[in-house]
Amino acid sequence: EKYVYDFTEGNKGMKGLLGGKGANLAEMTNLKLPVPPGFTITTEACKVYLDSGSEPGTLRREVSAHLAALEETMGKKLGQSDDPLLVSVRSGAKFSMPGMMDTVLNVGLSDDSVAGLAAQAGDERFAWDSYRRLIQMFGTTVLGVEGELFEDALDEAKRARGAVTDVDLDAADLKKLVTVFKKIVSREAGRDFPQDPREQMDLAVRSVFESWNTDRAKLYRRQERIPGDLGTAVNIVAMVFGNLGPDSGTGVAFTRDPASGHQGVYGDYLQNAQGEDVVAGIRNTVPLAQLETIDKASYDQLMQIMETLENHYLDLCDIEFTIERGKLWMLQTRVGKRTAGAAFRIATQLVDQGLIDEAEALRRVNGAQLAQLMFPRFDDDAKRELLGRGIAASPGAAVGKAVFDSYTAIKWSRSGEKVILVRRETNPDDLEGMIAAEGILTSRGGKTSHAAVVARGMGKTCVCGAEELEVDTKKRCLSVGSKVVEEGDVISIDGSTGKVYLGEVPVVPSPVVEYFEGRMHAGAEEADELVESVHRMMAYADRRRRLRVRANADNTEDALRARRFGAQGIGLCRTEHMFLGERREMVERLILADTDEEREQALGGLLPLQKADFVELFEAMDGLPVTVRLLDPPLHEFLPDITELSVRVALAEARKDPHENDLRLLQAVHKLHEQNPMLGLRGVRLGLVVPGLFGMQVRAIAEAAAQRKAAKGDPRAEVMIPLVGTVQELEIVRDEAERVIAEVEQATGVELKLALGTMIELPRAALTAAQIAEAAEFFSFGTNDLTQTVWGFSRDDVEASFFTAYLEKGIFGVSPFETIDRDGVGALVRNAAEAGRATRPGLKLGICGEHGGDPESVHFFHEVGLDYVSCSPFRIPVARLEAGRAAV
């Protein structure tokens, strides 16, 4: 096995083996760009080291051969006394983990070679400064010496000299400092700083390997969902120096503006400095454009290289470079990170430039970015006062009065106030307050804290872990330094940046939503570049996708919005939402009915209301399919709370004034009370137990459809039976439904052709899909209940209880209620789809659980060959885009 690759041997496709940095250095080398020569030790070598505790047996020999070649190229040997070759030893994993792992510069310097470097550079101060940097970096990262000890010694040296910055120290000072540093190493590490350059290099390599598993690297990987077993590569690169005088320097550049996507000169430059000085903020950088006046030749060359890189990578690249005495060197490049808006703009710009095609453009964006663009945001031009910042946990822009407990959040919001719930951290007891609030702000916890997970689930703006904010829930205030926010003071939180502002920052609606709503048209004057590119990308996606996209909607407003957003029908109309409000009492009467007559009466009252709902809905969705699901939730949901009612009855009895109806109600509530209502009397079971209930609903649907047809409309209703576990249940309901439909057809003289189908949302339904398909004209996968029953997780409780622990332990990276669990729930979906179609070729298949609007899940549903996904109206554009991406 080959563990070491020269830069001339790799390419950008080898990120897994060479890491991102190594692969791109190789790519640039092959492009004949000025990359300092070097080689890469593979991630495989790292894995062997981490697994076995020692380097692969052949590694040393391979490194020696590559080092010899490097020395040959450079015409000097590592650490050679009179003219030392120095190298940097840099980490570089497949996925960028900025600053998380080790890097050591100036490897090869020693007591012996420092004079040689001074002579070669003609700069003694530079040589001693490089040496003290090596001992410091090597001491902390490789030998584990406390970094502060070096910092303190450096400060001490400056004090002794009356110096303000490092630059004020001269060669003699730095020479003395080197002696002090070496003493620190000997004392703290129990060994001397190694004088053998090869030993320095080998130890540095090993320490890079080990830095893969530091706590902070592990934490970062968990947060970013980077697998823990990839390992890092190590790059050994000939050193070039940006700190050799005013004709040297270091900088970063982007080939396009990562915020807007526009081409131009973007970046920063720092004269007479090394990379780490930029990070340390020792001196201020200048805009890259100024390099033109500082060093025109290097600037022109850099511009040309940037063009080469763009044309080669066909994308925005970011670059790190160094100029050593007027010679430009490329130290790194990669396809650069960008904002969501820039991702869309860049993709269409590249299509216009003829650099990529439409399919590739679709690969360059994703649904999460589109979702981000659909949140309202703070007006860029508005004045604002920053209070602090935390973690951007759930996007959006929220403004409201600060409240410090859920009770107040609920109370104030009921009286029409907008509030931001501010807590140190949230727990399940805060749920109602979170629902009532515009946004949630916490001072503790990360992206997977309770506040973050729950807020994201609710689509609510959330900033968490804003540690500089002192939250005092007892005194009901928060403070940052001298600034204090009391209960009722207005604050604004930005869930996309994590920033928290004092006072009200004006919010502007998302132009992308304005576009989807049809209030702004592509091509119109006010439509900006972003809207234009979203418009085009949606067209690319729509042209390619095979999945149709429907909406979960049960009222006209949602249905119409869904249509504007591009829905091709309604995949789930939850009829229980039509039984709330004042109609609840009618349902109550239905439940309490003792006699057939009472029951008929209650149903008779509900029928016209249901019918009117459907007439409206079918009209809104004229010409498009509307899947109406018969009543699903357990009946007790329509009855008063058992505790409240018991108290009321007990009090009335104490007053010797019991209310007859309350007593009956309480009896019914007791009778219907279930320990596990989600596994209880709901869905098709209700239809089988409450006579006439499903019949009434089917009649309402049929009559509404007939009425729309008579009015020359084009209703396309489908009737869906929930929570079926066996084909027998379905057959019984089906018989009744067919009878009712025939009656309505007879009575109205209209032929209806209503499709009858079922949800597949129980494991048994999925496992017996072949039988169920005998009685169903379509399946719609209810992945919410299916996830609940396959995992045995209560969908209403888990996210707020133990999921945080599961996420933190990495048992899953994302809730299975959010992204489909491919291996478990997904396997059932795949098999049921196949089995259903084997019984009934052409069986229509959809999904209407929450996963229908989740990007990753949409790809899965495409793969298993469903016909459509159905999701909430606001997620329709995301589903359309992802369905298109799944098809390219």
Residues forming the annotated binding site? 574, 629, 761, 782-785
Name residues whose C-beta falls within 8 Å of residue 57's C-beta, 6 or more positions apart in sequence.
Answer: none
Q: Which among 132, 151, 146 has a CA at the least distance from the CA of 243?
A: 132
Q: Is there binding between residue 816 and ligand PEP (CB under 6 A)?
A: no
Report residue 246: phi and psi, to 5°: -65, -15
Pick from 555, 784, 801, 831 the residue near ligand PEP by CB under 6 A: 784
CB nearer to ligand PEP: give 124 or 761: 761
Integer Cα distance of 245 and 387 in angstroms = 41
Q: Is there binding between residue 494 and ligand PEP (CB under 6 A)?
A: no
Which one of Mg ion, ligand PEP, none is in contact with 606 (Cβ closer than 5 to 8 A by kind)?
A: none
**Mask for 123-162, x = binds ligand PEP (CB under 6 A):** ----------------------------------------
**Mask for 299-318, x = binds ligand PEP (CB under 6 A):** --------------------
Residue 40 CA, chain-centre distance (Å), reads: 32
Name the active-site residue from 46, 66, 317, 450: 450
The pair of three-digit structure tokens given for residue 384, joined into one six-digit string = 């604002």
CB nearer to ligand PEP: give 180 or 848: 848
Asked if 454 contacts 434 with a C-beta cutoff of 8 angstroms, the reply is yes
Name residues whose C-beta falls within 8 Å of residue 691's C-beta, 6 or more positions apart in sequence.
Answer: 596, 599
The pair of three-digit structure tokens given for residue 617, joined into one six-digit string = 């809905």
Known binding-site residue numbers for substrate: 574, 629, 761, 782-785
Integer Cα distance of 843 and 652 in angstroms = 57
Q: Is there binding between residue 572 and ligand PEP (CB under 6 A)?
A: yes
The pair of three-digit structure tokens given for residue 153, joined into one six-digit string = 């010694």
User: Is 450 noted as a catalytic residue in this protein?
Assistant: yes
Q: Is 416 left (phi over 0), alpha (psi -120 to 50) or beta?
A: left
Number of residues that bind ligand PEP (CB under 6 A): 10
CB nearer to ligand PEP: give 520 or 847: 847
Which one of Mg ion, ligand PEP, none is in contact with 405 (Cβ closer than 5 to 8 A by kind)?
A: none
Where are the strands (E) in 564-631, listed by range?
570-574, 625-629
Q: Which among 115, 801, 163 has a CA at the least distance from the CA of 450?
A: 801
CB nearer to ligand PEP: give 624 or 630: 630
Q: How far is the CB of 761 from Mg ion (least distance, A)?
A: 5
In the bound complex, which residue of the shown chain has the CB atom lying closest to Mg ion? 785
Q: Is there binding between residue 574 and ligand PEP (CB under 6 A)?
A: yes
Q: Is there binding between residue 446 and ligand PEP (CB under 6 A)?
A: no
CB nearer to ligand PEP: give 498 or 722: 722
Q: How many CB atoms lie within 10 A of CB 368?
A: 15
CB nearer to ligand PEP: give 222 or 629: 629
Q: How far is the CB of 784 from Mg ion (least distance, A)?
A: 5
Residue span binding ligand PEP (CB under 6 A) among the ranges 341-349, 615-623, 781-789, 799-807: 781-789
Q: Which among 34, 48, 35, 36 has a CA at the least distance from the CA of 4?
A: 48
Report residue 571: phi and psi, to 5°: -95, -15
> Residue 336 corresponds to which amino acid?
G
Report residue 322: phi and psi, to 5°: -135, 145
Q: Is there binding between residue 690 and ligand PEP (CB under 6 A)?
A: no
Name the active-site residue from 66, 848, 851, 862: 848
Which one of Mg ion, ligand PEP, none is in contact with 849 (Cβ closer than 5 to 8 A by kind)?
A: ligand PEP
Pick from 102, 761, 821, 867 the residue near ligand PEP by CB under 6 A: 761
Integer Cα distance of 436 and 500 in angstroms = 19
Instruction: Identify the bridge partners of residue 5 per DSSP, sorted by sequence position.
Output: 40
Q: How far is the CB of 363 from ligand PEP (least distance, A)?
A: 30
The pair of three-digit structure tokens given for residue 570, joined into one six-digit string = 């309604």
Name residues whose C-beta falls within 8 Å of residue 197's C-beta, 6 or more positions apart in sequence.
Answer: 78, 79, 84, 107, 108, 109, 110, 113
Q: How far is the CB of 547 from ligand PEP (least distance, A)?
A: 17
The pair of three-digit structure tokens given for residue 710, joined into one six-digit string = 């008579």
Which one of Mg ion, ligand PEP, none is in contact with 572 (Cβ closer than 5 to 8 A by kind)?
A: ligand PEP
Q: How far is the CB of 784 from ligand PEP (least distance, A)?
A: 3
Chain residues that interact with Mg ion, rule: CB under 5 A:
761, 782, 785
Which one of Mg ion, ligand PEP, none is in contact with 799 (Cβ closer than 5 to 8 A by kind)?
A: none
Q: How far is the CB of 787 from ligand PEP (least distance, A)?
A: 8
Look at the block and give the residue holding tokens 């400060």: 155
Pick from 271, 339, 372, 783 the residue near ligand PEP by CB under 6 A: 783
Q: How far is the CB of 723 from ligand PEP (least distance, A)?
A: 8
Which one of Mg ion, ligand PEP, none is in contact with 324 (Cβ closer than 5 to 8 A by kind)?
A: none
Residue span binding ligand PEP (CB under 6 A) among the ranges 253-261, 476-484, 779-787, 801-809: 779-787
Q: Is there binding between residue 821 and ligand PEP (CB under 6 A)?
A: no
Q: Is there binding between residue 876 and ligand PEP (CB under 6 A)?
A: no
CB nearer to Mg ion: give 708 or 851: 851
Q: Which among 44, 25, 28 has a CA at the least distance from the CA of 232?
A: 44
Pick from 446, 498, 782, 846 the residue near ligand PEP by CB under 6 A: 782
Which one of Mg ion, ligand PEP, none is in contact with 877 (Cβ closer than 5 to 8 A by kind)?
A: none
Task: Indicate the burial class of 263 (C-beta count within 10 angstroms; 0-12, 13-18, 19 or more).
Answer: middle
Task: Indicate the burial class of 232 (C-beta count within 10 angstroms; 0-12, 13-18, 19 or more).
Answer: buried
User: Which DSSP letter does residue 873 get?
Assistant: G
User: Is 848 noted as a catalytic residue in this protein?
Assistant: yes
Known binding-site residue numbers for Mg(2+): 761, 785
CB nearer to Mg ion: give 129 or 761: 761
Q: How far is the CB of 737 from Mg ion (least distance, A)?
A: 19
Which one of ligand PEP, Mg ion, none is in contact with 448 (Cβ closer than 5 to 8 A by kind)?
A: none
CB nearer to ligand PEP: give 180 or 766: 766
Q: Is there binding between residue 550 and ligand PEP (CB under 6 A)?
A: no
DSSP 85-123: B-EEEEEEESS--TTTS-EEEEET--TTTHHHHHHHHT-
Pick from 102, 632, 703, 718 the residue near ligand PEP by CB under 6 A: 632
Name residues whose C-beta falls within 8 Å of residue 148's C-beta, 6 or more positions apart in sequence.
Answer: none
The pair of three-digit structure tokens given for residue 874, joined into one six-digit string = 């606001």
Q: Is there binding between residue 849 and ligand PEP (CB under 6 A)?
A: yes
Report residue 463: phi and psi, to 5°: -115, 125
* First vs last C-alpha separation in the chain: 36
Name residues whose C-beta falls within 8 Å of residue 296's C-beta, 6 or more positions apart in sequence.
Answer: none
Name residues whose C-beta falls within 8 Å of residue 882's C-beta, 6 or more positions apart in sequence.
Answer: 366, 367, 541, 855, 858, 859
Q: Is there binding between residue 571 and ligand PEP (CB under 6 A)?
A: no
CB nearer to ligand PEP: give 599 or 682: 682
Residues of the chain by 3-state class (helix, strand, coil), percent to 5: 50, 20, 30
Q: Is there binding between residue 846 and ligand PEP (CB under 6 A)?
A: no
**Which of helix, strand or coil describes residue 212?**
coil
Residue span binding ligand PEP (CB under 6 A) among the ranges 136-144, 481-489, 495-503, 782-790: 782-790
**Which of helix, strand or coil describes residue 732?**
helix
Q: How far is the CB of 782 from ligand PEP (least distance, A)?
A: 3
Name residues whose C-beta falls within 8 Å of residue 707's C-beta, 6 or more positions apart in sequence.
Answer: 611, 615, 748
CB nearer to ligand PEP: give 36 or 782: 782
Binding residues (CB under 6 A) for ligand PEP: these are: 572, 574, 632, 761, 782-785, 848-849
Active site residues: 450, 848
